[in-house]
Amino acid sequence: METFVYTGHAARVIFGAGTLSRLRDEVERLGATRVLLVGGRSERAAALLGPLVAARFEGVAMHTPVEVTERALELVSAAGVDCLVSVGGGSATGLGKALTGRTGLPLIAVPTTYAGSEMTPIVGETADGKKTTRSDPVLVPKTVIYDVELTLGLPVGLSVTSGLNAMAHAVEALYSPDANPATDNFALESITRLARALPLLAQRPDDPDARTDALLGAWLAGICLGTVRMGLHHKLCHLLGGSYGLPHSETHAVLLPHVMASSPPAVMRRIAAALGAPDAPTAVFDLATRLGAPGSLVELGLGEADLATIAGDDAGVLALLEEAWRGDRPAALDDRPDLTALTEQVVASFAGASNPRIAELLGDLVRRLHGFVLDNDLTEAEWLGAIDFLTRTGQLCSPTRQEFVLLSDTLGISSAVDLLTNSRSPDTTPSAVLGPFYVEGPPAVPSGANLAEGLPGVPLRADVRITDLDGRPIPDAVVDVWQSNQDGFYDVQLPELEGPVLRARLRSGADGTLWFRSILPSEYPIPDDGPVGQMLRATGRHPYRAPHLHFMISAPGYRKLITQLFVAGGRYLDSDAVFGVKDELIVEFPPGPDGSRTVEFTFRLGAGNG
């Protein structure tokens, strides 16, 4: 059982392209009239605010030095400021929060990088060569405006290091003592978006979709940073920045893969899956290197003699820092080879497809299959076993037996496709899987015919009505019906039979109705003498289907409906072998005085191409 404490910090978030245009509305919403504009990239903001700008402060600095904050405070007092607006990266946001913490004034943050601090109740400040942090809900901005357009001009180098800084927030959130399902999902989605966006931004810095992905990733990472405690990575970055003057985002970029290499392997496997890579630390190191981020602490100006002081008595931290100082590629936590190049080579081979949809589907299939192979460390013997299984499945297929359809059914794929294709209108009768025993062109019979003439079983009368969604009858609808006999066999499974049995095609009358006689359907096993049966037995599953009648109904101007009616109270309703039962299709088949059964049902068809 999971146990956790989650503390959310409410901030009004406005996200999109061109959202800076709403800045003045947000200031006025707070009832403010005299704004201090903080940050050096604030010309557009100043133009939008116009006379509401009482003063501007552009002297922001990394790590929020206290002396800078004190200069800004003098301006707050002199200008009679009643609202703060920070525009820029983490330094501008940090100064805005430092001022909020001292004055209680409301802050509106407009981030232009991927720092994430705008979503946190934390500010880190430096004084006398030491950086200290403060956490207080009052520091959370009242509104955060994320405008994708403000990031379009962000230099590639800063985009990369700032994005890796954001990724560090998400990574540490996953193994924080405060980790919980909400932040886990935010973190993994953030990592996925950032890893997807950063390579694209290195090639096309003005790509709005990639910029959107990166900014969304940064926002989610900021939520993580603001709701769970950070660990070793952030502790080291604060120390290196506050006491040794190293640049903030660049330090995060260098340290991240090395701290990851010493982090819980189970968490790293989750991150590897989000990255689509076999090993998370080396994947992040390679990403940073490929995109031109600084690769070592020595590049950032840290002296080797400082490493022991920073690590103290912790030999593990010292080894980590030495590796990061040199810029060594961390050892892989997972010794499986990286399939990325192979996967992308195969996906690229589909680029010449005449139908783009084919290329899209095959590309996604290859990525997922390669991921399955990698994630499960598939052995050659297991792969050969799967090939043999699929080969035997294909060899059993014939005009009267569709083993591949059975495989699709028993894996729930048929029901999944059915739901996607046919269940998007809540007002139509729910659909169900076609199954492997439908035969084209069943014999046409008149309403009132007996489909079970001469066959043993409990007599059944079915009264059917076909209507549109407004209840109006649909005349001359074509209704195909098929079912098994009382022993659970369809006619195509019984070679001794001559001609179709228990299947027919009827048409609705002018009032949309028809009726027929048959026998009560019973539960039956799907064919289990082949590979599908082998799979069911190997997984402890039974092969039985709940008792049902099949229907296929079509009429001009309406969507074709393929469905089933299940006998209420029948066996296996809760464990149907092909996952085909839907509650709305479980119907009463009440008994009559003579023991026969009846069923009445109205099928509702939606408009479409029939």
User: Which strand (E) or helix (H) includes residue 590?
Assistant: none
Contacts of 348 (CB under 8 A, 6+ apart): none
- How many C-beta neighbours within 10 Å does residue 169 have? 32
Contacts of 336 (CB under 8 A, 6+ apart): 278, 279, 374, 377
Active site residue 558: no
Alpha-carbon distance of 492 to 489, in angstroms, equals 8
- How many C-beta neighbours within 10 Å does residue 383 have? 11
Strand partners, 460: 518, 597
Strand partners, 147: 16
Tokens of 229: 């405690």
User: Which strand (E) or helix (H) includes residue 280?
Assistant: helix 280-290
Contact (Cβ atoms closer than 8 angstroms) between residue 496 and residue 502: no
Active-site choice (465, 548, 597, 604): 548
Tokens of 252: 């995060």
- How many C-beta neighbours within 10 Å does residue 341 have? 9
Name the phi and psi angles at 493, rounded to 5: -90, -5
Name the phi and psi angles at 457, rounded to 5: 145, 170
Active site residue 545: yes
Contact (Cβ atoms closer than 8 angstroms) between residue 281 and residue 257: yes
Active-site choice (545, 559, 597, 604): 545
The β-bridge relationship of strands 524-525 and 544-545 is antiparallel
DSSP type of residue 22: G
Angle between helices 280-290 and 156-174 (to 10 degrees): 170
Contact (Cβ atoms closer than 8 angstroms) between residue 86 and residue 144: no
Contact (Cβ atoms closer than 8 angstroms) between residue 12 and residue 144: yes
Active site residue 524: yes
Alpha-carbon distance of 412 to 495, in angstroms, equals 29
Active-site choice (146, 175, 244, 490): 490
Q: Rounding to the nearest 10 degrees, give the CA dihedral for residues 91, 93, 98, 100.
A: 160
Strand partners, 517: 450, 461
Residues involved in catalysis: 490, 524, 545, 548, 550
